[in-house]
Copies of this chain bind each other. A is one copy, B any other.
Amino acid sequence: MSKIYQHSTLAALMAKQMQGTTTIGELLEHGDTGIGTLEGVDGELIILDGEVYHADEFGNINHITDMETKTPFATVHFASDAANELALAPTDFAGLSDLQDQYAFKNNFASLRLHGDFKYVYVRAAPKSEAPYPSLLQVAQKQPTFTAENISGTIVGYFSPKLYQGTVAAGWHLHFLSDDHQFGGHLLETQTDDLSGTLESFSDFQIHLPIDDEDFRDHTPVLENLKQKIQSAEGGH
């Protein structure tokens, strides 16, 4: 059994459930690799080898070492020796997405981790909101973007099948962190040189819901047109 562990759902973020409902320490008990955000949908997390990096809306990368730091939403897994080894010729975001067809996993969850040199990396970082929280759709309309050229770094993230749209943003959801820990965020576009890394398929998807949080427990999810709203909030990828 190989498992992806997710704290909360994208639909809950869409419905303003941005309060921190677990800690980074608890999250790391379920994986050493992954992505997420902090309380208030504050920036983009990149989790590599058990270390947590935070790309904030100001273009800074913060190394999160306080295990009590809170998050409303994150996805992790334990990196495994069972992952497929990959070597990729220069490509762009669409070329990364093609890995779905190449490895034919339309009904599988998968993780991707790639390292190498990049000609161009275009990322965004969600701006932190304060309570009372807006919806994710409102946050998405004012997200700062950042560009880097000729940089080495790591892409990490997940592929989720369409059936799970709502609990996740279906398709690819990838974050980037530079080797020097000075640049990162949610990957929007890229031009890569040769990259190498791993692609892993998962048999299990575990969703952990913060049902002890009163706001989460009682919130009303907005399921009408959720797919369209997620695409507006999370982008075409």
Q: Give a binary string over A191-218; 1 marks a CB under 8 Å from any B CB, 0 the rest.
A: 0000000000111111111111000111
A104 within 8 A of B: yes
Contacts of A3 in B (CB 8 A): 206
Task: Return the contact of A216 from the options B107, B202, B208, B211 (Cβ within 8 A).
Answer: B107
A9 within 8 A of B: yes
Contacts of A217 in B (CB 8 A): 104-105, 107-108
Task: Tell me the count of chain A residues lying within 8 A, CB to CB, of chain B.
Answer: 36
The quantity of this chain's copies bound in the complex is: 2
Q: Which residue of B lies closest to A167 (CB)?
A: B163
Output the residue of A105, A107, A210, A223 with the most chain B CB within 10 A.
A107
CA distance A217 to B110 in the complex (A): 13
CA distance A203 to B209 in the complex (A): 5
Q: Which residues of A does B touch, CB under 8 Å?
A: 1, 3, 9, 11-12, 104-109, 161-164, 166-167, 201-212, 216-221, 223
